[in-house]
Every structure is written in C-alpha cells, then in structure tokens.
Amino acid sequence: MAQIPAAGTDSDFYSATAKVEPRAVKGVFRTVKWWAMAVLMAWWHLAPFVRWDRGPGAPDQAILADIAGRRGYFFSIEIWPQEVYYVTGLLMIAAIGLFLMSALAGRVWCGFLCWQTVYTDLFVAVERLFIGDRNRRIALNRRPWDAGKLARKAAVNLVWLAISAACGISFVLYFDDAFKLLGEIFSGTAGAATYTAIFIAGGGCYLLAGFAREQVCIYMCPYSRFQAAMFDEHSLIISYEEWRGEPRGSARKGQSFDGRGHCVDCRMCVVACPTGIDIRNGSQLACIGCGLCIDACAPIMDRFGLPRGLIRYDSTANIEARGRGEAAGFRVVRPRTLVYAGVLALVGGVMAWSLAFRTTTEVNILHERSPLFSQMKDGSIRNGYTYKVLNMIRRDRTFALAVAGIDGARLEVFGGNDGRLDVAADSVGTFRVYVSVPAESLGSKSTALSFTLTDTADGRVVDTRGLFAAPER
C-alpha cells in the first residue's frame, strides 16, 4: 500500500495506492483456502441444478427464488410473500453467526469464505497461470506495451470475463428453472431483465475481483471498520510475536540468534499478503485473516532452524502469556461468545418452531369502504367484504365459512354455495362476502364480528375478527 509522506516533504498528502501483487505461498492456510474455494464454487454453480420433487405442478428446483410465482423454495421449505419474517430471521442468524465467528476466530469469514476473497484468489491464480508469480507480474506491469504484453493481458482478461460471465449466469439461475433458463441464455431467447442481471452481477465480479481487489476489503466493506468491536483478548487473530521477533535484522544461515530477535526481516509475510500490509506492525483493519503470512514465514523459520509460529493464528492473551513464559490456552466460553451463541440459539429456535408448527391457511379480510354499509328493503343492514383464503398446501381444499358475534347475522357468498369456499392447491382464493344483520341487533356505529373458517377435510378452524359498520343511532 502507498505510504503517507513524512511531514515537511514536498509530496502530496494523498498519493495513489500502489497495486498489491501477492506472492504465491504453500502451507496449511493456503490449502484450506483452495478447498474453501472449490466447495463454494461448486455450490454456487451446481446448486441451481439440484432437483427436489414437490409434486405435480410445482417447481422441482431445490433452491429457487420464484419471483413470478412469488415463492421462495429451499428443498422442502416453501416461503410465501406473507412470510417475509423468515427472511428477516435468516438475516439475523447470518449477522449473529458472523459476530460469533469473529469473536471466536477473528476474520475467518473474510479470509476464507467471503466471495470477494474467493474470486480475487481465483483471478490472481489466472494471472499466475498466464504471466507468472509476483516478480514477473510486476515486471510486466512496468514494461512498455508491446505485442507480448498485450497478448498476456488479453488472455488474462478473457479468462476473467469468462469467469465473471459464469458468475452472473449462476446468479440468475436461482430465479428460474436452471435447465430451461440456461438454454434460453445461450440461444439468445432469454428476456432483457435476465441479460441485464447477468451483466450487473458478472460486471461487478470482473471489476471487484479483477481490479478493485484489496480496496474492496479496505475501503468498501463496512466489516473491516467495526470488526474490532467483536474481538477481545481471547479472539483468534493473525498475530506477530514481537517479544520473540524483535529486534529484527537480516541473518545468514548458521548464524547465532543470541541477543537478537528471530525475525530476519525477509519481508516474505508482506509480499504474500493479499492486502499488502505488514503484520509486524500489529493488528490492522486491512488484515483479512487469511493466514498466508503464516505460510510464508514458516519455511523461513525452518531454513534457520528456528521454531515456527513467529507469526501465528492465536489470541493476544496467549501471545502475551507466552512472552511471560506462562502456559497458554484458547478460551471458547466467555461472556460475548455466550451472548452471541444464546441469541443465535434463540432466533434459530424460534424459526425452527415456527417452521414446524406453521399454519397452512391464512385469511385476510378487507371491509368494503364505499359504501361502508347498505340498508336493505327489509330494514336490515348489509356490509360487504373481500375475503381472501391462502391455501399453503398442494391439494385442493374446501372450507365452510360462518359468522358469529351479532344476533341474527346472515352470511352470503357471491358465487358460493351456502358458505362453502373452494380454494385450489397452493393458491389464494378471493371471495366476495356479504353479511346482513337486523337493525334491532345493532346498538352502535360499529360492532365486532367473528368470521370462522373450517376446513371440511380435517376440521381445522381459523377465526378472524372483523367489524360490522352501521348507521349511528
């Protein structure tokens, strides 16, 4: 990263940020990152093609956000627009889960699971394939444009564009039948909205992973700004054992390390960092917790016959304890982790209970407003209602509708048969309902009225309260 000029110099205070070109390393953390990338990419690109049998007439895509049908499907779970609170619950679980993950293991999400990190890793791997490792990429960037440079850069960008297009296509496949939509995309018969969504999602992938890279983590992502609020001295973070490494300095193999630190100032940890920071300067918001600096430092320690762990994935409390020669250990149970885990369990439990005992029938009543009431020839007062029944299971159902709460109330269903309502499977039935009440049964401007809906197949009842409007007396 660009350095801020020292005071008193003629340099501009704001200088251009130097492009970070991380060096390839091998080790435990790099291996974990490759596996995490493989799993996430496989999920992203293959999940839309997984099938799930929901019966005749229902989409058989396991994970689907059916915008046209106003449904959300996740295997056996079907979410209706009226159940948007489940989406709220999922967002809460995601947020609290991230807080708990951070309290325990620092920015493990950023380093291994974030899509920005995953795609940036993939894009850098493409650069290594066509150009080479860090030094060759830097040299190529500094070289004047010629046919060779143009060919290499074009090859890299073509592969980036292909990966970005695949990202955008996979995104839209979650919103329609994947097999059908994929054929339409490549045959040119998909809608304009589909191609626009692919362009936006794929274009974002191309720009952010190909060019913005670490700038997204440092300046655009809000998580880097408030992450420290979720850490404590027992959170696992990438740390440098200053007590062991300082004073640092260059060294030769076989040289004694008596009276000096173990850090040989090789800067391998810096050139391996995807955000270009020096972890030896302490914890920083630009550190994404990927652990590549640990992998870079380990073979250097081996070369000099020094113990590994000069840069380690550990808590501040443990590093300070080792500096004092005391035993160290990881504390999982502590106040903040208990709070996060408790809230997570509570929200998850509420959602699980709600899903297990969710109703299969919902009712909505809209009172006619113009006019609020009508007076009939026999002197009775009539109110009109729009009565909607949401049938959330995949079979046709018949309901019996009745009213109560006012003496002498009579129910009429326009187009119905003695209050019997037929509702098709997995749909909303809309009915025009009229309630007539003798004038002598009404004593005020409005009176509470109860609508009782009974499933004729299983006898389940849904009671809904309403109001009956009448003239003032």
Written as six digits, the tokens of 87 are 């989406």
DSSP 249: -
Residues 6+ apart with CB under 8 A from 267: 278
Q: Return the pLDDT at 227.
A: 77
* Per-residue model confidence as pLDDT tens digits over 119-178: 999 999 999 999 999 999 999 999 999 999 999 999 999 999 999 999 999 999 999 999
Question: Which pLDDT score is estimated for 447?
Answer: 86
Other CB atoms within 10 Å distance of the CB of residue 186: 10
For the chain, what percentages of helix, strand and coil (3-state, to nearest 5) are there? 45, 20, 40
Judged against a pLDDT cut of 50, whether residue 110 lies above it is answered with: yes
* Under 8 Å between Cβ of 228 and 308: no
Mention every residue, 6+ apart, whose C-beta is less than 8 A from residue 154.
none
Q: Do 270 and 277 touch, CB atoms closer than 8 A?
A: yes
Hey, is 1 helix, strand or coil? coil
Pick from 280, 262, 261, 260: which is nearest to 270 by CA?
Answer: 280
Kindly report whether the peptide bond that precedes residue 247 is cis, defined as omega within 30 degrees of 0: yes
Minimal CA–CA distance to 86: which of 99, 97, 77, 95?
Answer: 77
pLDDT at 285: 87
Dist. CA 215–CA 208, nearest whole Å: 9
Mean pLDDT of 264-282: 94
pLDDT of residue 12: 56
In this prediction, residue 14 carries a pLDDT of: 60
d(Cα 278, Cα 385) in Å, to the nearest integer? 69
**Residue 325 scores a pLDDT above 90:** no
Kindly indicate the confidence band of residue 8, based on its pLDDT and cuts at 50, 70 and 90. Answer: very low
- What's the confidence (pLDDT) of residue 283? 86
Q: What percent of the chain has pLDDT over 70?
A: 96
> pLDDT confidence of 64, banded at 50, 70, 90?
very high
Q: Which domains does the chain have, with CATH numbers?
A: 28-86+94-221 (no CATH), 361-469 (2.60.40.10)
Strand intervals (E) in 63-171: 63-66, 71-74, 77-79
- Answer for the pair 419, 451: CB distance below 8 angstroms, yes or no: no
pLDDT at 1 over 50: no
Q: What is the CA radius of gyration of the chain?
A: 32
- Examine the pLDDT at 5 and tell me if it is beyond 50: no
* Per-chain mean pLDDT for the chain: 90
Long-range contacts of 140-144 (CB under 8 A, 24+ apart): 141/19, 141/21
The SS3 call for residue 7 is coil
Q: Dump strand ranges (E) for 192-280.
A: 237-240
Query: Running DSSP on this structure, what letter comes out for residue 171?
Result: H
The one-character DSSP state at 417 is B
Residue 6's pLDDT band, with cuts at 50, 70 and 90, is very low
Tokens 């073509």 belong to 158
Question: Residue 473's pLDDT is what?
Answer: 67
End-to-end C-alpha distance for the chain, whole angstroms: 80
State yes or no: cis peptide before 371, omega within 30 of 0. yes
Q: Which residue has the higher pLDDT, 115 or 440?
A: 115
Query: Quick one: average pLDDT of 220-240?
Result: 87
Share of the chain above pLDDT 90, in %: 67
Instruction: Specify the pLDDT at position 109.
Output: 93
The 10s digit of each residue's pLDDT in 178-217 is 999 999 999 999 999 999 999 999 999 999 999 999 999 9
Look-up: residue for tokens 């390839």?
24
CA–CA dist 173, 186 (Å, integer) = 13
Mode of pairing for the β-strands spanning 71-74 and 77-79: antiparallel
pLDDT-based confidence at residue 302 (cuts at 50, 70, 90): very high
140: tokens are: 């190529």
* pLDDT at res. 13: 57
Cα three-residue angle 267-273-275, rounded to 5 degrees: 125
The mean per-residue pLDDT over the stretch 271-286 comes to 92
What are residue 362's DSSP bridge partners?
390
Quick check: helix, strand or coil at residue 21?
coil
Q: Where are the alpha helices (DSSP H) in 27-70?
A: 28-46
Helix 28-46 vs helix 115-130: crossing angle, to nearest 10: 110
The predicted pLDDT at position 121 comes to: 96
454 pLDDT exceeds 70? yes
Encoding tokens for residue 435? 């309630």
102 vs 231: CA distance, rounded Å: 7
